[in-house]
Structure 1
Amino acid sequence: MHKGKGMKFVGDSRIQDKGQRNTIPKDYSEYPGRTEAFWPNFLLKEWLVGAVFLIGFLCLVAVAPSPLEQQADPNNSAYIPLPDWYFLFLYELLKFEFASADYVVIGTVGIPGLAFGALLLAPFLDRGPGRRPSQRPIANGMMLMGVIATVWLTYVSVTAVDWEQREQYSIANATEHEVDTEHPGYEAYSNNCMSCHGENMGGNAGMGPSLLESQMNVDAVKDIARNGIGDMPANQFEGSDEELENLANFIVDNRPSSDGEGEGNGEGSSEGSSEGENSDSES
């Protein structure tokens, strides 16, 4: 027997073949309900749908931006806060008798809790392998009920709001003015005038006019605080004469048109009183 004759070479299964890797996804057609690989086929489709929706939503926001209002002022009793548009359906839900007043817990905890609970239980209630809507009646039925309820409650809430009246609370109409909170008369103003004329003297819609454009001097302010003017009744101010003096100086010193000279000493009392009546006659 010669050397090399009759010898056979076999592969060793202990040696891994690292030269090639199978990059072709498996064929899932033989498994029911699994028609394609999750990565990258299915996940790529999900990303494409999500990207299209996001771009469409961004275009909608750019074309018709949601109206933004000023920061809620607790000193303005005429202001009725309104939630953002995506919470309007919950806001409308709380108007129903069974979800408000003594039953407010049902509207704030009970009904939303049932909705989120149903969302969590949806995968366990409908375990069908098919993807067609007709094969997933429970999941699709719950989804349709949620969408219809949200859309209808949002529509009812939007149509019930007087948007022209709320325009006065928009950011575009906000008064950018800061007052001196260290002024001796600030406390008297906050206790007697802030609820009607606003935290920054810019006025509150339906309550009191702005004091920023007024040309009243100190004596005119004191006279109006004691005797009233227009819709403002008399004796609105409650405090001592010293506090009244500080209040009048605060209003005069903190308006943009004030130079802080002359007016604080009560000069031009009759002229300032007449101008003050003309300025506040709209209150």
Structure 2
Amino acid sequence: MHKGKGMKFVGDSRVTAERTSQIPKDYSEYPGRTEAFWPNFLLKEWLAGSVFLVGFLCLTLAHPSPLEGIADPTNAAYIPLPDWYFLFLYELLKYEFASGPYVIMGILVLPGLAFGALLLAPFLDNGPGRRPHQRPIAVIMMLLGLISVSWLTYASAAHVDWETRAEENKPIPPSSVEIDTEHEGYAFYEENCMSCHGGELEGGGAAPGLIGIDYSAEEIADIARNGINTMPADQFTGSDEDLEKLVDFIITTNEQAE
């Protein structure tokens, strides 16, 4: 009988034919790859992301974003603005080639081409190198996108005084001050001011609240006559004596609130 004759070998699919080594492969033989994705490369990405996240959280604590009040559909003078990460699209719609009869160009065609190009960049430039000069198409497209978004965002936000805007449209808490309707200046407030500043001086829409204001009697009288910010002049049409009573009512109400 010859050796091995009559013997049968049974294969088990759960056992690999080749034994793999536990030592990570030497990636130097692959162009552009110098380390294993797990855990070396991924750990570096996590560390970089953690540093950025901690820095961003510290920035939000040191300088909170200015918030505005609840939307008021009755305020026709209010100019809505998108969040900061959409300001570049908002600015794009101000140009003639992307607004008016060409608004489809501004809301669909141009953004679609830009974002589509960025999505296709890795496939258009799929060279093995990882250095910027080895990936010219992807790098140029990314730089164009970054410069365009940065410039449009800056152009849109540069003319807006965000602190003043937030102050003028800040949420007004419910007033806990008891309004003295028997005060001789209340009638003039009701006639000239209540429609904008509210029955409890809480403000509304474009008109700010009159509780907690830091104005003297002379300044309040001047504002009532000449206006301020979005408030037009000659809102108060009474006599100087009537104006004094109105100013005294506003100041007295603020003193009660302190």
Aligned position for 1:111: 110
TM (norm. structure 1) is 0.58
Say whether 1:231 aligns with 2:231.
Answer: no
Aligned position for 2:132: 133
Instruction: Tell me the CA shift for residue 276 of structure 1.
Output: 5.8
What amino acid sits opposite 2:203 in the alignment?
G
Instruction: Tell me the CA shift for residue 104 of structure 1.
Output: 1.8
Distance in structure 2 (CA, Å) of the matches to 1:122 and 1:68: 37
Aligned position for 1:175: 172
Distance in structure 1 (CA, Å) of the matches to 2:235 and 2:28: 80
Q: Please list the CA deviations of residues 74-105 of structure 1 after superposition, one character each: whole Å capped at 9, or x if unmatched.
A: 11112111222222222211211222222222
Distance in structure 2 (CA, Å) of the matches to 1:277 and 1:69: 28
Distance in structure 2 (CA, Å) of the matches to 1:145 and 1:200: 53
Instruction: Tell me the CA shift for residue 196 of structure 1.
Output: 4.0
Judged with a 3 Å threshold, the aligned counterparts in structure 2 of structure 1 residues 231 and 170 are, in CA distance, closer, same or farther, namely closer
Say whether 1:46 aligns with 2:50.
Answer: no
Instruction: Tell me the CA shift for residue 204 of structure 1.
Output: 4.0
Q: Please list the CA deviations of residues 182-235 of structure 1 after superposition, one character each: whole Å capped at 9, or x if unmatched.
A: xxxxxxxxxxx9984569973346x6575889xxxxxxxxxxxxxxxx5279xx
Q: Secondary structure at the match of 1:176?
A: coil
Judged with a 3 Å threshold, the aligned counterparts in structure 2 of structure 1 residues 68 and 162 are, in CA distance, closer, same or farther, namely same
Distance in structure 1 (CA, Å) of the matches to 2:198 and 2:168: 13
Say whether 1:152 aligns with 2:156.
Answer: no
Structure number, greater radius of gyration: 1
Q: Does structure 1 retain, via aligned residues, the 8 Å contact 2:202–2:209?
A: yes
Within a 5 Å distance, the mapping from 1:116-265 to structure 2 comes to: 116-171=115-170, 174-177=171-174, 196-197=196-197, 202-204=202-204, 231=235
Distance in structure 2 (CA, Å) of the matches to 1:87 and 1:52: 25
Distance in structure 2 (CA, Å) of the matches to 1:200 and 1:157: 36
Within a 5 Å distance, the mapping from 1:82-121 to structure 2 comes to: 82-121=81-120
Within a 5 Å distance, the mapping from 1:48-87 to structure 2 comes to: 48-87=47-86
What amino acid sits opposite 1:231 in the alignment?
Q
Distance in structure 2 (CA, Å) of the matches to 1:23 and 1:274: 89
CA RMSD, aligned part only?
3.8
TM (norm. structure 2) is 0.63
Distance in structure 2 (CA, Å) of the matches to 1:199 and 1:106: 47
Distance in structure 1 (CA, Å) of the matches to 2:29 and 2:199: 71
Distance in structure 1 (CA, Å) of the matches to 2:199 and 2:38: 58
Instruction: Tell me the CA shift for residue 62 of structure 1.
Output: 1.9
Instruction: Tell me the CA shift for residue 73 of structure 1.
Output: 1.0
Distance in structure 1 (CA, Å) of the matches to 2:125 and 2:235: 65
Number of aligned residues: 200
Q: Identity over the aligned pairs, expressed in percent?
A: 60
Instruction: Tell me the CA shift for residue 41 of structure 1.
Output: 1.7
